Structure 1
């Protein structure tokens, strides 16, 4: 996201962190990322979307007015192809689905459809409200808008199919930002937080990942916060980064001590 330091947003996010389980509720795992490798990353990227494609290339969507783009690179940091977003738009999440890619805009209500190879724009779709994060389950798209609800979307037309609420210990949780779909689970960065939530198919949070130990989280600027989680296909590892971070961390998730 961009600057969203409203009192309401801060209050909504202030309760994130370690959670306790209410009587009768399923236990919520407390996890941390353990760094196993560090990869170079473009520190000019105001990261809004992060995804690893099946071939191992990295798909990155960036934000900021007049500077938003989408690009593909190798894990070693070599940029392969890039496409600028209309300069009037503020770019948000991206995801690949089959032969096309969708890129969200923040407050413009426009999703840009792109060719998977060239990244050229091949269409647009409108949606109500804001766009934050996006991922593909392989059957449909999941989109966040900053609220405690996630939207289910048709992957070809971007038509909304439904919504479901995300709850932690039975209470709705807002601030859901960059998304990653992995099997039946959805991983969500929490805006203005170093937490990542693992969300089950019913919308209940099943794990809270405390990523405050990643080195670049020392930055106090809200425009340099953690934002970007991508699963490495065929492994149990993830890539994590943030806005204008110089590093991309390859991690394994482990129980918090």
Structure 2
């Protein structure tokens, strides 16, 4: 049973309001956030004011204005809360702001090396290269699959179907196992990479879009600007980053590939790939593939550009799209 003192603390009291920044403000990393607090009743002066940043106590405030330094915070959401105390009663005011990159992403170019056949019925959702073969995860209800594809011909050498109820998404290879997401079912599957035998399943609470690995963790996109780092055995979330460029959040992150310490991500419904710092979430560079699909390669049923795979031995990339008839080998240039 709460004491009299605890009951006093629980009692509603109106002391302050955060006037600035306004909720939803976007600030460049390194810039100062000017915090201004308004007294709701100038006759009632709080005994103390305490600032919390991302739920961690940051400082005790001596007046109604304060400068928050942003250089030590990750890109993305920063929760700001000020708690006022008066006669053992408290009241808090909160806002959330977003910290974006201050750097314009570098524009990278590519060189087309070779064009290969690609199954135009494959609704490409995941792609990786391993030991001379292309591995592909396809989507669409009732047509979703995991495939091993001969690079030179586009011939499907091996496949496993997901079942009528699943819409397949991203795939990744880690420690002899292939992991495959589904879109909205909240379930993923683990296969033996040689036999395609289904070993077990795992669950997650977001949508499943793209999947890759840094060799220790699985890295997942969910269609937003958030990237999740997952523990491979139980698929528990270890951490996450929010992806921003110099204009704001970069949403609709789709198929992923981890290359030399960076995350390459298709941006859904665009012809763009962004290169992301996996620690900060900053978009470092971007590549425009608007002209890669030639008129002569079109079959009339093409959907969005999606699918990026990397051959680390030969330093080459492969890109394609949903229901595209071609797979393109490229080299990315600075």
TM bracket (short chain): 0.7 to 0.9
Q: Is the 8 A contact 1:39 1:75 kept in 2?
A: yes
Provide the rounded CA distance (Å) in 2 between the counterparts of 1:166 and 1:221: 33
Deviation of the 1:130 alpha carbon: 0.4
**Count of aligned positions:** 231
Aligned to 1:7: none
Higher relative contact order (CA 8 A, sep 6+): 1
Structure 1 unaligned runs (5+)? 1-23
Are the equivalent residues in 2 in contact too, given 1:37–1:250 (CA < 8 A)? yes
Question: Does the C-alpha gap of structure 1 residues 143 and 220 become closer, same or farther in structure 2, counting only changes over 3 Å?
Answer: farther
User: Which residue of 2 is the match for residue 176 of structure 1?
Assistant: 253
Equivalent position of 2:319 in the other structure: 240
1:17-36 → structure 2 map (5 Å cutoff): 25-36=102-113
Deviation of the 1:177 alpha carbon: 0.3
Q: Which secondary structure state, in structure 1, belongs to the residue aligned with residue 110 of structure 2?
A: strand
Match of 2:175 in 1: 98
1:224 and 2:303 correspond: yes
Deviations 1:181-220, CA, capped at 9 Å, x for gaps: 1121000000110011000122100111100011258979
Instruction: Note the aligned Cα RMSD (angstroms).
Output: 2.0
Contact 1:192 1:222 in 2 (8 A): no
Larger radius of gyration: 2
Q: Sort the Cα spacing of 1:93 and 1:216 in 2 relative to 1 into closer, same or farther, 3 A.
A: farther
The one of 285, 288, 292 equivalent to 1:210 is 288
Residues 17-39 of structure 1 deviation map (CA, whole Å, 9 limit, x = unaligned): xxxxxxx9445211233211111
Query: 1:137–1:183: 8 Å Cα contact kept in structure 2?
Result: no
2:104 and 2:246 in contact (8 A); partners too: no
Gaps of at least 5 residues in structure 2 are: 1-100
Structure holding more strand per residue: 2
Q: CA separation in 2, counterparts of 1:206 and 1:216?
A: 28
Number of the residue aligned with 2:16: none
Aligned to 2:188: 111
Contact 2:298 2:324 in 1 (8 A): no
Using structure 2 for the length normalisation, give the TM-score. 0.66
Q: Find the counterpart in structure 1 of residue 134 from structure 2.
A: 58
Measure how far apart 1:157 and its partner are: 2.0
Equivalent pair of 1:33/1:252 in contact (CA under 8 Å): yes
Q: Which residue is 1:13 aligned to?
A: none
Structure 1 moving runs of 4+ over 4 Å = 216-223
Instruction: Report deviation, 1:235.
Output: 3.0
